[in-house]
Every structure is written in structure tokens, then in C-alpha cells.
């Protein structure tokens, strides 16, 4: 494993995920642990003292945010399509099962963030979380890094956003409310579909879609507006109109302030893992996927436009209409970036299309 082969040049989105941001810790700072509890069986944690925690997103002019904080690397939510997988290769860790089970924990993330926010050079820019891994994955239940991070953001009235699939975010509801009293806070939950069979196989480590929508419901009940990133919409498996309609309906019923569809993209790292999963579970679709993604990581623009149009029509039907979407977007623009894009991470699209950013 490489832990110290590079200096700590800030960078961090999976889009950019240059090796520069990854090995920010010295070899002597790594402590490896396993826990013999059912939820962590087979998972190895690499506790590190990171050298930096606030990362600048290269090419931020094409992103809805410029700065990110990711207290973990690797994610036990284990989504087969997760495009952050390739970032594990910069640590010489496996991007398949290794990404799901070898979790790097930046144990000093809260103290690093507090120091950064107190720096006279820090201008109070919006910080996006959940852009590279899920900060409320299961490890957070044990390491409890987010409370310290939220306290630092609250104390400095620094605007931020969180995108998550983790129900654990509700543990920190009070802190989020306190922060929202003093700064702009955006929360989004990622729910690409409500089909249980698809969920169990493609997002095996995540809370069920309805549990995630319960998060939306609970946040709304406490006065915290929550958007839903409907991502990824998975071609041929989760894109039938009745599937899209059922998902949008559930999102609307949960009280989401907005719904933003994003079609699956398959960049290197994620592509190999996803296609191997597809070959095992849906071998008849392999050829169709190879044709659909023949030009690169993104589905054709015509397909993305069709999905976007359908989702917006269903959103209108169920009361998450254009007016509410526009209001939500305006609000997001006003504080430079919400989790609109990638659960966990965004990347610039190579061509203009209906969706400007993509999610893990």
C-alpha cells in the first residue's frame, strides 16, 4: 500500500481524483483495525492522520462547488457502479471488493477542518461533502467524525452541503439544524430507484430506498428541506416508465424539495466492476451496455434527455413541479452548490446535455 508517495497537494473529487490528494499521510500514521461485529465483518479500517482535509476540485468552474471534505476513502455501501472506485488504485488498493472493504479513516478530519476554517486565508467558501465517498457510511457509526466536522462548520458559520445514502445522518440532526441557523446548509439524499431486487444486488451495503426516503421525511418534518438526487437511473434495469414513476412518486410523498435525475455513467474503475456484475446477473444485457456506452463513460445524450423529461413529467404529476425545482435551484446557486451532483461525486460532462453533472 502506498501511503506517502506524494506531497499533500489538495485535490479531491473523483472526477479529478488525481493521485495528488490520496496519499496524504505518512506510513507511520497508519493503524489497521478490524472489528468482529456483524456489520464490520470482513472490513479492514486503515486509520490515518491526514495532512489536509479540505480539497479543491480542479476544474471547479464546471462544478457546483469548489471545495470538498471527505473523511473516508472506500465505502462499505458497495454500490457496484460507484465511480470513486478508481481512487483506491492510487493507494495500491483493489478497486473492486477492496473499495468496499478496505476503508481509510482520516481520524483527525475534525481537527484539521477546524484549523483550516480558522485560517486567515480561508474565505468561507461552500464545502461539499459526500462527493467522493459517503460520509455517513457504516464506519461513521463507529468513528463519529461528522459531529466534529459539523460543529466546526457551525462554529465558523461556513456554508456546506451533504449528499448521502446513509440514514445515520439523522443522528446529527440537531447539529445540522444548529448549522442551518447560522449558515446555508443543503442536504440531499440519493435514491435512484425503489425496486428492491435491483437495490439488493446493485447497492448491497446501503439502507433500503424507503429508509433513505424516511430520512427525507424526517428532515422535512424538522424544517430542513431535502432534495433527492435520483441517481443513478440504470439503463434497461431501472428505467421503465413505471419504475421511474414509482420512484418519483415515493420521493414526492417523502416531501422532497426537488428531484434531479442522473443516468448511470461508467468511468474506468467503475466500468470494469459494473460490467463484471452485469455479466453475472444480467448476461443478456452486456451487449446492449457495450453499445450504449461505446462512446465513453456517458449514455447518449438522447437517452439522458428522455430520462430527464420523463422524470420531470412525473415530478410535475406528483407535485415536485418546475416551479419548485427552479426555486430549489436558485437557492442552491445562491450558496454555491448543493449536492445536486454525485453521491458521491461529480464530474464534468464531455458534452453539453440535459444533466450537467454526474453522480457516483
- Provide the mask over 106-145, with x wherever binding to ligand SF4 is found by CB under 6 A and - wherever it is not: ---------------------------xx--x--------
Does position 265 interact with ligand SF4 (CB under 6 A)? The reply is no
Please select the residue that binds ligand SF4; options are 11, 54, 69, 84, rule is CB under 6 A.
84
Torsion, Cα of 252, 255, 259, 265 (10° steps): -90
Contact 190, 165 (CB under 8 A): yes
Size of the site for ligand SF4 (CB under 6 A): 14
* Element holding 115 (H helix, E strand): helix 109-118
Phi, psi of 327 (to 5 degrees): -60, -40
- Shortest Å distance, C-beta 134 to ligand SF4: 4
- 3-class SS at 329? helix
User: And the C-alpha cell for 134?
Assistant: 459517503
Cβ closer to ligand SF4: 163 or 311?
A: 163
* Rg value, the chain, Cα: 19
Cβ closer to ligand SF4: 156 or 186?
A: 186
Of 285, 209, 297, 274, nearest to 247 (Cα)?
209
Does position 228 interact with ligand SF4 (CB under 6 A)? The reply is no
Cα–Cα dist 57/337, whole Å:
13
Cβ closer to ligand SF4: 72 or 314?
A: 72
- Shortest Å distance, C-beta 143 to ligand SF4: 15
CA distances from 278 to 29, 161, 288 (A): 38, 33, 11
Does position 88 interact with ligand SF4 (CB under 6 A)? The reply is no
- Provide the mask over 139-178, with x wherever binding to ligand SF4 is found by CB under 6 A and - wherever it is not: --------------------------x-------------
Beta strand segments in the chain, E: 31-34, 44-48, 54-56, 67-69, 72-73, 102-106, 127-129, 160-164, 185-190, 226-233, 259-263
**Secondary-structure percent of the chain, ordered helix, strand, coil, rounded to 5:** 40, 15, 40
Which stretch in 15-23, 70-78, 147-155, 245-253 sits in contact with ligand SF4 by CB under 6 A? 70-78
Cβ closer to ligand SF4: 138 or 349?
A: 138
Cβ closer to ligand SF4: 78 or 113?
A: 78
- Shortest Å distance, C-beta 274 to ligand SF4: 11
Question: Would you tell me which residues interact with ligand SF4 (CB under 6 A)?
Answer: 75, 77-79, 82, 84, 133-134, 137, 165, 206, 343-344, 360
Amino acid at each position: 500500500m502506498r501511503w506517502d508517495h506524494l506531497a499533500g497537494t489538495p485535490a479531491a473529487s473523483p472526477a479529478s481524483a488525481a493521485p495528488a490528494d490520496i496519499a496524504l499521510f505518512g506510513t507511520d500514521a497508519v493503524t489497521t483495525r478490524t472489528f468482529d461485529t456483524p456489520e464490520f465483518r470482513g472490513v479492514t479500517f486503515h486509520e490515518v492522520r491526514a495532512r489536509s482535509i479540505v480539497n479543491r476540485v480542479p476544474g471547479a468552474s464546471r462544478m457546483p462547488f469548489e471545495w470538498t471534505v471527505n473523511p473516508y476513502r472506500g465505502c462499505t455501501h458497495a454500490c457496484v457502479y460507484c465511480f470513486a472506485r478508481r481512487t483506491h488504485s492510487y493507494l495500491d488498493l483493489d478497486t473492486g471488493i477492496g473499495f468496499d472493504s478496505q476503508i481509510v479513516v482520516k481520524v483527525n478530519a475534525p481537527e484539521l477542518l477546524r484549523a483550516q476554517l480558522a485560517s486567515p486565508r480561508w474565505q468561507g467558501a461552500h464545502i461539499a461533502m459526500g462527493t467522493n465517498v459517503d460520509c455517513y457510511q457504516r464506519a461513521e457509526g463507529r468513528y463519529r467524525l461528522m459531529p466534529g466536522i459539523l460543529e466546526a462548520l457551525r462554529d465558523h458559520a461556513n456554508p456546506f452541503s451533504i449528499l448521502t445514502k446513509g440514514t445515520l445522518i439523522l443522528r446529527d440532526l440537531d447539529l445540522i439544524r444548529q448549522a442551518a441557523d447560522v449558515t446555508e446548509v443543503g442536504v440531499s439524499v440519493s435514491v435512484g430507484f425503489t425496486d428492491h431486487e435491483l437495490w439488493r444486488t446493485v447497492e448491497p451495503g446501503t439502507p433500503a430506498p424507503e429508509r433513505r426516503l424516511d430520512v427525507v421525511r424526517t428532515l422535512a418534518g424538522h424544517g430542513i428541506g431535502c432534495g433527492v438526487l435520483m441517481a443513478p437511473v440504470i439503463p434497461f434495469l431501472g428505467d421503465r416508465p413505471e419504475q421511474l414513476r414509482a420512484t418519483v412518486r415515493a420521493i414526492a410523498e417523502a416531501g422532497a424539495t426537488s428531484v434531479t435525475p442522473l443516468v448511470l455513467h461508467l468511468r474506468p474503475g467503475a466500468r470494469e466492476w459494473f460490467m463484471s456484475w452485469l455479466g453475472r446477473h444480467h448476461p443478456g444485457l452486456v451487449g446492449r451496455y457495450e453499445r450504449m456506452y461505446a462512446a465513453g463513460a456517458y449514455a447518449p445524450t438522447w437517452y439522458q434527455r428522455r430520462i430527464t423529461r420523463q422524470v420531470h413529467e412525473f415530478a410535475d404529476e406528483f407535485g415536485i413541479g418546475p416551479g419548485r425545482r427552479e426555486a430549489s435551484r436558485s437557492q442552491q446557486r445562491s450558496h454555491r452548490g448543493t449536492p445536486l451532483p454525485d453521491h458521491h461525486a461529480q464530474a464534468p460532462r464531455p458534452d453539453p446535455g440535459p444533466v450537467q453533472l454526474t453522480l457516483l
